[in-house]
Amino acid sequence: MKNVVKVLLFILKITTILIAVTLLMSIAACYVNPSKYWIFQLFGLFFPIIFILNILTLIILFAIKSKTAYFNLAVFIISFFFAGRFFQFSGNKTDDENIVKIISYNVHEFKNIDNNKATHIEIADFLLAEDADIVCLQEYTSHNKEVNKNKTLQKLYQKYKYSSDAFGGQKIFSKFPFENKQKFNFDGTCLVFADININGKTVRTYSCHLQSTRFNPDGTQQRLTSKNANYTNELKRIVVNLRNAFIKRSRQVELITREISKSTYPVIVCGDFNDTPMSYSYQKMKGKMNDTFIEAGSGISNTYKKLFSFLRIDYIFTDKNISVEEHTVEKKVKYSDHYPVIVKFKINDEK
């Protein structure tokens, strides 16, 4: 019996060490360029799950008074500083009328992800009701005649007198005047910005969409089904697609951040990055900016409906002299495969 207990304890210790090591690897995903070592990005995808597993094993290790607990505790302390990217419990709310409201929303070409029905009327109604000051849309289609001629959608152009040209799926609407606007192609993706004069202060607002991960040959993102003939081959193909997407996003984000660094104005960056907060793309894009969820969010941070609904891949980052007053993800709005991200902010006087 003693031998059985020893074996079980040994297995437990090895398991807990492996969990702690994988947690460290998920943290490394933020700093290791996938163009060099892409495998870390896979661990970054599962940071919340590994983080919780490490807590559970830590409790067990302390309960049995194992010295291994100190290693897991050290890893937990390190990882704790990253957990706020996924969980927040003290979100802010504001009723200040002088606050500026911005929405970032991937509208999936105005098509419902479940039944492929057009959603441009519902999305336009939602945006009109929200009455934000600035709206950044990703996967905005400018080729659908039904969408472009729709009276409800046209009300957006009446409400928002200033807007960018739809380019590569990017669109910016604003109640405030544009001083300048530009668009760029970057290695298969695009970036648009508008210099927006907000009550006498110019803010450069960007919208971008990084490389999507296409799981299936036809470009869809469906899960594996029983119809798949060979699960091993399917799994290999999915991993290859993930690897290629990680690498491509790393190149895209390098080019985009280089362009953003040229701005002489405070910046706001909105977009669908198709990467989690534990990724090289997130870390590189965020840089020294504020992540609005960390600043003023609450609860679990997911913005994507599919894949177990725990992924946060849509973000709004702001300059340090922009105070984030409120961050919400409108999860009742299910017209796309993404949820709209809504942020309220104010611009501080530069010191």
pLDDT digits (tens, 9 = 90+) for 14-46: 999 999 999 999 999 999 999 999 999 999 999
Closest C-alpha among 49, 40, 62 to residue 19: 49
pLDDT band at 148 (very low <50, low <70, confident <90, very high): low
| Helices within the chain (DSSP H only) | 2-28, 39-45, 47-63, 68-83, 120-130, 145-149, 151-159, 231-260, 280-286, 292-296
Q: Would you say 111 and 334 are in contact if contact means Cβ atoms under 8 Å apart?
A: no
* pLDDT score, position 52: 95
Q: Is the pLDDT of residue 183 over 90?
A: yes
For the chain, domains (ranges, CATH) are: 2-83 (no CATH), 92-347 (3.60.10.10)
DSSP assignment string, 277-343: SSSHHHHHHHTTSEEHHHHH-EEE---BSSGGG----EEEEE-TTEEEEEEEE-TT--SSSBPPEEE
* pLDDT score, position 145: 60
Percent of the chain, pLDDT > 90?
A: 64
Q: What is the mean pLDDT of residues 107-132?
A: 88
pLDDT band at 219 (very low <50, low <70, confident <90, very high): very low
pLDDT band at 144 (very low <50, low <70, confident <90, very high): low
pLDDT band at 260 (very low <50, low <70, confident <90, very high): very high
Q: Would you say 178 and 190 are in contact if contact means Cβ atoms under 8 Å apart?
A: no
Q: What is the mean pLDDT of residues 299-309?
A: 81
Q: Is the pLDDT of residue 290 over 60?
A: yes
* pLDDT score, position 150: 67
Q: Which residues of 276-301 are buried (b: 16+ CB within 10 A; e: fewer)?
A: bbbbbbbbbbbeebbbbbbbbbbeeb
Q: What is the mean pLDDT of residues 294-308?
A: 86
DSSP state of 109: G
pLDDT band at 142 (very low <50, low <70, confident <90, very high): low
pLDDT in tens, 314-348: 999 999 999 999 999 999 998 999 999 999 999 98
Q: Which two tokens stand for residue 69?
A: 């607990």
Sheet with strand 267-272: strands edge to edge:
178-186, 189-198, 201-209, 267-272, 314-318, 290-291
User: What's the whole-number average pLDDT of the chain?
Assistant: 88
Q: What pTM was estimated for this model as a whole?
A: 0.90
* pLDDT score, position 143: 61
Which of 6-10, 92-96, 280-284 shows the lowest per-residue confidence on average (mean pLDDT)? 92-96
Which of 64-68, 85-89, 155-159 shows the lowest per-residue confidence on average (mean pLDDT)? 155-159
**Of 100-104, 122-126, 210-214, 240-244, highest mean pLDDT:** 100-104
Q: Which two tokens stand for residue 74?
A: 């050290």
Q: Which two tokens stand for residue 103?
A: 């929405």
Q: Would you say 134 and 174 are in contact if contact means Cβ atoms under 8 Å apart?
A: yes
Residue type, 8: L
Higher local confidence (pLDDT), 191 or 144: 191
Instruction: In whole angstroms, give the CA distance from residue 81 to residue 192.
Output: 32
* pLDDT score, position 325: 94
